[in-house]
Structure formats: structure tokens, C-alpha cells
Amino acid sequence: MTNTAIITGASRGLGLALARVLAGAGWNLVLTARGARDLERAADELGATAIPGDVTDPAHVRRLAEAAPELDLLVNNASDLGVTPLPPLAIYPLEAFRTLLETNVTAPLALVQATLPALRASRGAIVNITSDAATGAYEGWGGYGATKAALEQLSNVLSAEEPELRVWWADPGEMNTRMLADAVGAEEAAAAADPAKVAAALHDLVASRPASGKVSLQ
């Protein structure tokens, strides 16, 4: 039997690296990201279904759920860094923070809600990608970190409410991605882990299906 996964933020970074690992293992993939050109290039490479769009759009969430009526894995990887350079909380623009909550918290919950019937049927799994910024007091990371803390607690409660599923909230550690480069600069980001290495750890997690909970991928 072939497994099916939805991966958000799949056009680059960890999302694309995970898509490559899962495609290599024979998974059917429904991939989404905002950048249509990069997403379609990835889908062509992997023989996957590309549905470009914004995960904060309810109509787009419905399209993703309808594209995978049989679903084994939802990976909420898409997220937004917020304002850059990273501002202290004292001057964090509140409208930007509301937008950040919409992308990093509300949208993953909307996708969970839309796909739960299929995931319950398969006793599937949910991976919500978080960050050490969810618990670490890093200057400038308060906006982003607060959204990831919310996503962690959302995952924690979901794991209690859906005991037939596996729900993991996974900290990938620092990776050499465009998002990290936007936050700390390209030179520092280049010293971080290769997303492909983290994706391999994430695949091992999905394959071994440990109990629901918080996991570190590095």
C-alpha cells in the first residue's frame, strides 16, 4: 500500500528535503508553497502533486484536504519569520505579529481540522515543525518564538485529544535555509545543518512511529 503525505512549505529548505526523502521511499505527495514556479519544479522532479497557494487562505486549505482524501501524514512545515531585522518585543509591530500568528498557528490548526477525518481513518500522523525559539529567550526572536510556543502547546493538547494518531512537534535545530539567513545572515546560516540531514531524521521518526510528543531532529 502506498502512503500519502501533505507537506507545506515544500518548495525549498526542510520541506523540499523531506519531500525528496519521502518520494524516494515511495510516498505519494501533495506539496504546497506560495511560490508556484519553485513548487512546480519540485513536484515535477518528484512526481508529486503541486498545489501552490497560501495556507492562511481557507479555500486553499480545503483544496489541499480534497487532494488527499486518503492521508497518512500531514507535515505543517510552512512558517513565517516575521519582521526582519528581528525587532525587540518593545517595538514589535502588532499587526505583523497578528499576521505571524495567522501563518504559524492558525493555518496549521486549520489544516489539522481539515484533514483529521482522513488521518483518523488511516491512524496517521501529524508533524508540526517548531523551533528552539519556542522555549529559548533569544533576543529578537520573541515574535516568532511565541508563535512556535503556541504551536507546541496546540500539538501537545492535540496528542491528548487524538490518541489514535501520532502527533509530533519537532524542533529541527538550526538549518542552512533562507529563513535562517534572513534572520542571522548568510555567513552564519551556512554553518548550520544541511536540511537534507534533518529530513533524514524526520523520515526515521515517521517510519519508527514513536509515541506522540516533542522530538529533536538534531
Q: Which residues of the chain have pLDDT under 50?
A: none
What pLDDT, on a 0 to 100 scale, did the predictor assign at position 184? 86
Q: What is the CATH number of the domain that holds 186?
A: 3.40.50.720
Report the DSSP beta bridge partners of residue 169.
Answer: 128, 214
Q: Which domain holds residue 148?
A: 4-212
Q: Per the domain annotation, does 81 fall within a domain?
A: yes
Q: List, by residue number, the catalytic residues.
A: 144
Q: Per the domain annotation, does 217 fall within a domain?
A: no
Task: Determine if residue 82 is left, alpha or beta; phi over 0 gives left, psi from -120 to 50 gives alpha, anything else beta.
Answer: left
Residues in the chain: 218
- Rounded Cα distance between 164 and 103, Å, is 27
Q: Per the domain annotation, does 186 fall within a domain?
A: yes
Q: Per the domain annotation, does 172 fall within a domain?
A: yes
pLDDT in tens, 27-82: 999 999 999 999 999 999 999 999 999 999 999 999 999 999 999 999 999 999 99
Q: Per the domain annotation, does 22 fall within a domain?
A: yes
- Rounded Cα distance between 122 and 50, Å, is 22
What pLDDT, on a 0 to 100 scale, did the predictor assign at position 77? 98
Query: Is the preceding omega at residue 88 within 30 degrees of 0, hence cis?
Result: no
Q: Per the domain annotation, does 60 fall within a domain?
A: yes
Structural domain count, the chain:
1
SS (H, E, C) 104-154: HHHHHHHHHHHHHHHHHHHCCEEEEECCHHHCCCCCCCHHHHHHHHHHHHH
What pLDDT, on a 0 to 100 scale, did the predictor assign at position 5? 98
Q: Per the domain annotation, does 168 fall within a domain?
A: yes
SS (H, E, C) 17-77: HHHHHHHHCCCEEEEECCCHHHHHHHHHHHCCEECCCCCCCHHHHHHHHHHCCCCCEEEEC
> In the block, which residue shows the cell 479555500?
59
What pLDDT, on a 0 to 100 scale, did the predictor assign at position 28? 98
CA distances from 33 to 70, 126, 182 (A): 21, 18, 18
Sign, CA torsion 145/101/114/39: negative
- Rounded Cα distance between 218 and 201, Å, is 8
pTM to 2 decimal places: 0.96
Q: Per the domain annotation, does 95 fall within a domain?
A: yes
